[in-house]
Each structure stands twice: as structure tokens, then as C-alpha cells.
Structure 1
């Protein structure tokens, strides 16, 4: 097919979609997908999303009642039931001491399905201490998960990869080690597919997600439930001040941080770096989400019929929340970030808590969590916890 034929085909596809939207009939062979792939009629699908349960649009006017209803709706769409009755049965190993903290490996049951290994850092001194549930990113790099954020003292084979990741995204810092140095207990666990629970191949993600759906469950729902349970486990440790637990993450970890704050009352504050947007503004030709694959870790089927992405995050209001993004971040269109931030500000304002939400765009930065950004987050945590 030459360029002229390709252009003609593309024009025809657009016409077929227009005919459908106008009530015309086209054969199955003529219907097509474009740009991404998106269905040619995707504008109509987006127009149908009105987010009727969003605060301010929902008929529920009582704040507490809305929060209960919104959270219940999110939990229903996780497709993974609550795991509150499953004992954590923690096992600790690999203990070592540094100048700043005691490092341990901890293996726990976050669900009834399998044991999960993570790292736990505890500052020296007398507790109880404030704590951070530190949530790793996606990055299409599966051989390391928790090691992206905490130096892997227990595995030299992963250290080179971990250092390279820290250099690329975190100004050479291990964020978890720095938090422990500053007096925080830090818990960081592998999500399914990463580190000790992987490594998954990038191309296997859609098959994994599909298999979850065919088994009546959800990959994204599992991650949400595990993070919810991890927050409760961390808050329940004797060494931790249960009133001072935060969730912190970068990229997919940012998504996990605000999602966990929305689902768990154990999270007193959340800092989310480089993952926030309006859904409609994200679903545009060329956006990374349209590739599928990694998107399944952040996809709860049907939830968009009720709530936009920032609507879910706003369930955490009026607890302290921080959202940073890079102005040069190509993963999240500027309009989507603006729409989301406007919604978030409005919800915190409605709770008379504008001083509890911090939103900032770093115009010169892309998809990173630099040491300057980290220092602002750490200082903010010191203030709000």
C-alpha cells in the first residue's frame, strides 16, 4: 500500500466512524481502529463519561457519606475482596546495621494467595517513629522492584541495576535509605511481576492481566489490595507511630500512593510524584497508556463510569496530600494535569483544607524525582506528620 492508499484508507475509517455516530450502518469489516489503537468512535465514548459520583456532581452532599460511597465504589471495581482476615505472619531475616538504621528483609501475607518479601528500614533510637510506605515505579524494568528505592544490601547481583535506576531517576539517591536517615521507618515491597515476584517480560503484561480477568479477578485490583494491606501492616508495627504513616511514590508508585491514601485510613498523608491526570485528557492519540501492557496495573474496569482519576485521589481529602509533576513529562499531557489539579484543589477547598494540599509543576523537569524534589517532599513530610 502506497502513501496515497494509506491516506485514503484513513479517511475512509474516519468516515465509517462518523456514519456510526450518526446512526448509519457499516459492516463489521468496515469498522476500524485508529491512532493507538483507539476505536474510531472513541470521542463518543469519552463524551459519555460524566463521572456522576464525583464530589460536586454527585447528589450526595454530606462529605462523610460521599467518601464512604466513593470508596465503596472503587473497592467494588477492584474485583479483589478485602483481605482483612488474613494473618500477616511476618518473618524477618537478613538483618544488618548501618550508621543510620537497621535493615531487615520481611516476608508477609498481604493476601491469602502468596507471601511477599520486602525491605524494612528502622532508624536508630527510641520509637515509635513516623513511617513511610514507599511504593516503587513501573519503568518497564522488572528485575528490580523494591531495589529501585532501597539499596539491596542482600543481593549484589541487583545492586548494579539498582544504582543505574537511582542515577537515572533519583539523582543517584536511594530514596528509602535517605528517608531512614531522616528518621522514618520505611517499608518497601515488590508488586507482582517485579523483583522477587518476577521478572515479568514487558510483552507478558496483557496476558497476565487477561488471565486475571478470566479468573474473575484483576491485576490492578490485587496491587491496590496489597498496598492497602501493606499500609495497615506498617501502621501496626510497635516501632511505628500509627498516626504518622505516609505513602510516597514516583510514577506508578505515585499512582499507588494516592490510591492507597484513598482506600486506607492508615495513611495520614501521601506524596505522589509524576502520576496524575484527567482520564479523558490522557486517552488521546500517542499517549503511552494506549499501548496497553503496563496500563493494566492501573486499570479498574468500569470505574470510569463513576469517577475520574482525580476523583479517586480526592477520597483522601482533607488529609495532607502532595502532587508534583514535571512540565516536560511526555507521559501526562499538560491539559490532563491541569484538569486533575483543578479538581483536586476544589475538593480540598470544599473541606476548608487548601493548606493541606501541595501542588507543584517543575517546568524544567521531565519524568523524574530529583534530589531537589525529594528534599521538598521530605521537608513536607516533616511538617505534616
Structure 2
């Protein structure tokens, strides 16, 4: 047989991730967390030229129970990012803010109930199920960034295409950078933006993402403890069973990551902060058996830290889509009202 199947399996079997979780004490956990986080950030690559946010209000629309604003912020170098800001009319800062991160599709408009042309959606909500609207309706200040390569942030040559993931990712890789790194660190500029607004409790900023947005949510929370609670939907798995075994967009790939850690190790950096995993039983690109495997490994990390109650799993009947069955009420349960 000329097929390289055995060779590929040999490569994977021969790689022993340097920072697989093996801690037996909290002291060993802390040392592991610091090592892995530092090395993971180095692989992601921090974009150069961090800028002042300099927010500009682009529009403000009265949507009944909430106001939908669109704001432009500077992130890195010449990059600017449009962000939807959904503000409940009856807003209590103690309800917290949630950064809502879209997956593949037409970008941030899909999360806020709009079509690609900005008109109101009618009919099916799609796999992302307007989840930013569900968050704002529950009282959360909701921030919805347009991730690099989607929607209004595609390359000009890709105006009629779904996204610019391939060309942007390959160019970034050729320059020693990653698309994942750009999306993660631009999302952390959204945390900066929330803090600069001053209308949300700084210890109650969370994130929720689906699919590629789940990557961004999980990786951002792994490296920045300002994100106090995280929902990863349709992404938590093992790299071997998902990204490396089933066709996935090139924006998922970070050179050298398999030599450093498996996905549960990276997501384990979130511990002991609250983490909720959503997984559909019929998800074709993130197999359920590997979600269960990843969750078992996460339980070991949270268990060592006596934080099992802060790890949750919504294993729902469905495919690659947002559930929300636990997530929406979960944020509210974490952030109850405070006494005046």
C-alpha cells in the first residue's frame, strides 16, 4: 500500500505533548498552568502594534427591549473592528457582560437577528440561533465582534465569497502568525472595550462562542483571566478526533500545537473559572465520543482544584448548533444580583 495512512498515525503516536496535564497537587497545577499558558501564547502569536481603542459610534437602533449599537474600535496596527453592542433597556450592571462570538457564516449580523444585507431576519435562525439576542433578552450587556475574515472584514477580492479564511490564514502562517491568534487577541480588545465603557461589573465579563467562535472563546479565556465565565459550543473535543481527522477550515491550525498540548489541556487553563461545554449528539465535525473524552480530562483538572461544580456539560440532542438549554440561565446563576 502506497497510502500514507500509517505514516500519519505514526506521526501522531510519536508526538507526546510536552504539557499534558499530569499535576497531582495545586502547586504542580499552578506551575503547569503558567508554563502552558506562556508557551501557548507564543504559538498563537500576539499581533503587533496594539492601538488605542478610539471607539466610534456608527449606528444606534431602538429594538424595543434593547438598543442595538454598532461601534468601530481600533485593535492592532491598521486593523479596525466593527462590534455590535446590545444594551438592555432595563440594564443592571451586575447582570454582567457577555462577548458573543460567531462561527463560520456571514459574521456578526447572524447573531443579532440580521441578514447579510442588514435587514431583519425572517424564518429560520440557522445553526447560531441568534444567540446574542437570547443573551441581551436575559439582561446581559452583549458584545458581538466581527471576527477577522468574515462579514465586513473579508478581503475586497472575496466580497462575493463566504469568507476570507483561506487567504488570510495562509498569509499569516507564511509570516509566522496565525488567524486564531488574531481573532483571540482582537476578542481580548473587546474585554478592554467593556472595561473602558464602565457600565459592566469588571468581575462579570464572560464569553460564549460556537464552532470557530468556540475556539476563540475557549482560547481567549485560557489566556486571560478577565473572562470570568465561558461557554464553548460545538468545538470542545480532541484535536486528533476533530481538527486533525475531519476536514476543517485552515483558520483552526496553529503550528506546533500538537507538540505542546491537546485541546482539553488548553481548555483546562480556564480552571477554576466557570466553563460550560455544549455538544450535539450528532455533530458531524466534532465527534461526541471525543467531547466526552475531553470533558473527562477537564473534570480531572477541576476536581484537583475542588471546582467540579463550576464545570458543566450540555450534551443535547442535535447536530452542530447552539443549544442554550443550560447556557442562558447558567450565566444568570453565576451572576446573581448584589445587595446595594
TM-score norm. by structure 2 comes to 0.89
Cα separation, partners in 2 of 1:63 and 1:93, compared to 1, 3 Å = same
* Aligned match of 2:67: 102
| TM-fit CA distance, 1:53 | 0.8
| TM-fit CA distance, 1:238 | 1.2
1:335 aligns with 2:289: yes
Contact 1:282 1:333 in 2 (8 A): yes
* Aligned match of 1:378: 328
1:209 aligns with 2:198: no
* Matched position secondary structure for 1:188: strand
| TM-fit CA distance, 1:213 | 2.1
Question: Partners of 2:24 and 2:256 in 1: how far apart?
Answer: 17
| TM-fit CA distance, 1:276 | 1.2
Cα separation, partners in 2 of 1:88 and 1:354, compared to 1, 3 Å = same
* Aligned match of 1:13: 2
* Matched position secondary structure for 2:176: coil
* Matched position secondary structure for 2:17: coil
Question: Partners of 1:81 and 1:156 in 2: how far apart?
Answer: 28
TM-score norm. by structure 1 comes to 0.79
Cα separation, partners in 2 of 1:334 and 1:383, compared to 1, 3 Å = same
RMSD (CA atoms): 2.5
Contact 2:149 2:163 in 1 (8 A): no
* Aligned match of 2:279: 325
Q: How many residues end up aligned between the 2 structures?
A: 330
| TM-fit CA distance, 1:81 | 4.3
Alignment of 1:1-385 (within 5 A): 12-14=1-3, 33=4, 40-56=6-22, 61-81=27-47, 85-125=50-90, 127-129=92-94, 130-138=96-104, 141=105, 144-152=106-114, 157-159=117-119, 163=122, 167-170=125-128, 173-198=129-154, 200=158, 201=161, 205-282=165-242, 287-289=246-248, 294=249, 296-362=250-316, 364-369=317-322, 373-385=323-335
| TM-fit CA distance, 1:215 | 2.4
**Structure 1 unaligned blocks of 5 or more:** 1-11, 15-32, 35-39
Structure with a larger share of its residues in helix = 1
* Matched position secondary structure for 2:208: strand
Deviations 1:13-64 (A, max 9, x none): 14xxxxxxxxxxxxxxxxxx45xxxxx5111111122222122169994333
| TM-fit CA distance, 1:339 | 1.8
* Matched position secondary structure for 2:237: coil
| TM-fit CA distance, 1:288 | 2.2
Deviations 1:83-126 (A, max 9, x none): 6x521111113112232112211100122231111110111245
Contact 1:231 1:264 in 2 (8 A): no
Bigger Rg, which one: 1
Q: Which runs of 4+ in 1 moved over 4 A?
A: 57-61
| TM-fit CA distance, 1:242 | 1.0
